[in-house]
């Protein structure tokens, strides 16, 4: 959004737009009187499905209410070309062209004025009828911080205040290698640059109930403070290494370890140590846990086993923190490359002729697999042992999707590293691999719907872990995205500027993608 704001507001800002907006806020958002609350309860339902919930929005161009979660308001905006809507719970204005909530000084002022009027009416009602649950009538009351004149003056005259600029390097800090600990350093770099994890730790949200100096979450919190302190000298993570050895004993010692194994072990320990930090928050993920790790990293993997006799389907959904993908060149037979891998662009990936893409790997991961006669299952439908097919799809996507390219092969016959080049994109759309997209597949290929408003499953790359060397001897480094187009290479204590080409040309071992758009819960 440019400093001038959303240009699409000009269509709405005509004639008596201020009065019209006030009426919308009075009647449908900040309902202050009993009469307006009754009217809101009766009239504010989705015009397409009749629901009261699902983040109702009201079109600002006509009288239409629609669900944001089920995209009924999106459909209305697309067909009617009505690009502006207001959230009926919090009062935010959404632009369907910008695909984001927008800020306008005049509209914000009207919203604040009407909210204050509504709260004043409710406080009078509360006094008269001793109604203690006022916030339930018009949603939570969030008081925003606005600096006073004195505070503005202090901010202007403080030359040392921190500012986030295009060339800002706050958050970039090297890590000393304590003896074959590059496997730990590369994961720490990826975690400290995970936006929501950074926000959690820098806002002091962890409530520790463990003995002093034994909690990995407390140490991670301290680590985030160190990273974002502005210090430029490399940090020595000796306390973190000690706690990792204490809580994940299989990683103890100075031998080179696997970065992927360390990532899973670290997430597991962090998950166990911060389970009680958000007791009041609903656990809306397949792991049924409200800790910050599960809120960010946990997705749901759907497994559909189809009986070949009666075609009955048995479905299970399992939580996952990462997705491990087979590569060409491994002993596992690889699915043939997609029709798009002839030098074209597939899912945003531009790659040379014949190169394997991340999309190819995901297609193979989600293809139906015949289990064969040696793996018959007892079908709950026909009550007999039958051959079956199994297909994996994504039931629920995590906020951060981590893809593990299986470059290290350990089998009875082989122990080697697979160096096959895999092209991966800066932006990734996971829609073709969702369970909800299975019915849209035709002849094994997903037909992308023409819907520019659907951004729920779109991701942006923000970290890449690489391994150089062989299975027995090697070294880990990480590429980190600092700003939208600024990348840095983290090689233990040394951090250097990197180009996007450096990132995309790298071999890739662990790929970290962050959702581009987050839904309110």
Does the annotation count 186 as an active-site position?
A: no
Q: Do residues 340 and 346 make contact, with C-beta atoms less than 8 angstroms apart?
A: yes
CA 428, CA 504: separation in Å to the nearest integer? Answer: 13
d(CA 470, CA 158): 52
Task: Tell me which residue of 276, 280, 293, 272 sits closest to 207, measured CA to CA.
Answer: 276
Cα separation, 507 vs 505, whole angstroms: 7
Spacing of C-alpha 115 from chain mean position: 31
Pairing of strands 388-396, 400-405: unpaired
61 is catalytic: no
User: Phi then psi for 389, rounded to 5 degrees?
Assistant: -115, 150
How far is the C-alpha of 415 from the C-alpha of 409, rounded, in Å? 6
Whole-angstrom distance between the N-terminal and C-terminal Cα of the chain?
24
- Report the alpha-carbon distance of residue 217 to residue 79 in Å, rounded: 49
Catalytic residue among 182, 186, 218, 289: 182
For residues 416 and 329, the answer to whether their CB atoms sit within 8 Å is: no
Say how far apart CA 276 and CA 279 lie, in whole Å.
6
d(CA 276, CA 78): 43
Helix spans in 139-278 (H) = 149-157, 182-192, 195-202, 216-227, 238-247, 259-273
d(CA 305, CA 251): 36
Q: Which two tokens stand for residue 384?
A: 């007999």
Catalytic residue (choose from 8, 61, 242, 475) = 475
Contacts 24+ apart (CB under 8 A), 491-495: 492/174, 492/175, 492/176, 492/177, 492/182, 492/185, 492/234, 493/174, 493/175, 493/176, 493/177, 493/234, 494/174, 495/172, 495/173, 495/174
402: which strand partners? 512
Question: Residue 509 and residue 487: Cα distance in Å, rounded?
Answer: 17
Q: Which two tokens stand for residue 486?
A: 């600024």
Cα(492)–Cα(204) distance, integer angstroms: 27
Q: Any idea which residues carry the catalytic annotation? A: 182, 475
């Amino acid at each position: 959004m440019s400093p001038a704001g959303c240009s699409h507001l000009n269509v709405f800002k005509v004639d008596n737009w201020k009065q019209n907006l006030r009426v919308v806020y009075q009647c449908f958002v900040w309902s202050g009187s009993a009469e307006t609350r009754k009217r809101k309860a009766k009239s504010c339902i989705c015009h397409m499905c009749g629901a009261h919930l699902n983040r109702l929005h009201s079109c600002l161009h006509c009288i239409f209410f629609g669900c944001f979660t089920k995209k009924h308001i999106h459909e209305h905006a697309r067909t009617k070309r009505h690009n502006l809507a207001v959230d009926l719970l919090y009062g935010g204005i959404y632009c369907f062209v910008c695909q984001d909530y927008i800020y306008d000084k005049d509209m914000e002022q009207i919203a604040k004025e009407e909210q204050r009027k509504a709260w004043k009416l409710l406080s009078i009602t509360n006094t008269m009828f001793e109604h203690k649950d006022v916030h339930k009538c018009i949603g939570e009351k969030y008081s925003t911080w606005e600096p006073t004149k004195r505070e503005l003056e202090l901010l202007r005259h403080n030359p040392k205040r921190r500012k986030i600029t295009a060339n800002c390097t706050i958050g970039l800090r090297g890590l000393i290698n304590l003896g074959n600990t590059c496997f730990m350093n590369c994961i720490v770099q990826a975690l400290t640059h995970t936006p929501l994890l950074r926000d959690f730790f820098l806002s002091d949200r962890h409530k520790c109930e463990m003995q002093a100096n034994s909690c990995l979450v407390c140490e991670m919190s301290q680590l985030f403070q160190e990273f974002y302190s502005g210090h430029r000298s490399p940090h020595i993570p000796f306390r973190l290494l000690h706690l990792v050895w204490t809580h994940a004993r299989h990683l103890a010692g100075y031998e080179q370890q696997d970065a992927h194994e360390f990532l899973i072990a670290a997430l597991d320990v962090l998950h166990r140590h911060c389970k009680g930090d958000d007791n009041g928050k609903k656990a809306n993920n397949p792991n049924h846990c409200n800790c910050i790790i599960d809120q960010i990293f946990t997705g749901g993997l759907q497994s559909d086993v189809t009986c070949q006799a009666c075609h009955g389907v048995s479905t299970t959904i399992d939580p996952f923190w990462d997705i491990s993908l087979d590569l060409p060149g491994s002993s596992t037979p690889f699915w043939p490359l997609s029709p798009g891998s002839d030098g074209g662009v597939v899912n945003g990936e531009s790659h040379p002729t014949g190169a394997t893409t991340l999309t190819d790997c995901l297609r193979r991961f989600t293809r139906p697999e015949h289990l064969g006669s040696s793996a018959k299952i007892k079908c709950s439908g026909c009550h007999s042992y039958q051959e079956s097919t199994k297909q994996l799809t994504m039931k629920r996507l995590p906020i951060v999707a981590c893809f593990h390219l299986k470059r290290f092969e350990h089998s009875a016959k082989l122990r080697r590293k697979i160096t096959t080049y895999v092209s991966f994109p800066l932006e990734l759309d996971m829609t073709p691999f969702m369970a909800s997209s299975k019915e849209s597949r035709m002849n094994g290929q997903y037909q992308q719907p023409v819907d520019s408003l659907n951004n729920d499953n779109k991701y942006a790359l923000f970290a890449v872990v690489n391994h150089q060397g062989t299975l027995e001897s090697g070294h880990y480094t990480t590429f980190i995205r600092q700003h939208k187009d600024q990348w840095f290479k983290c090689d233990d204590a040394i951090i250097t500027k990197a180009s996007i080409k450096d990132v995309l040309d790298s071999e890739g071992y662990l790929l970290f993608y962050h959702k581009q758009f987050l839904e309110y819960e």
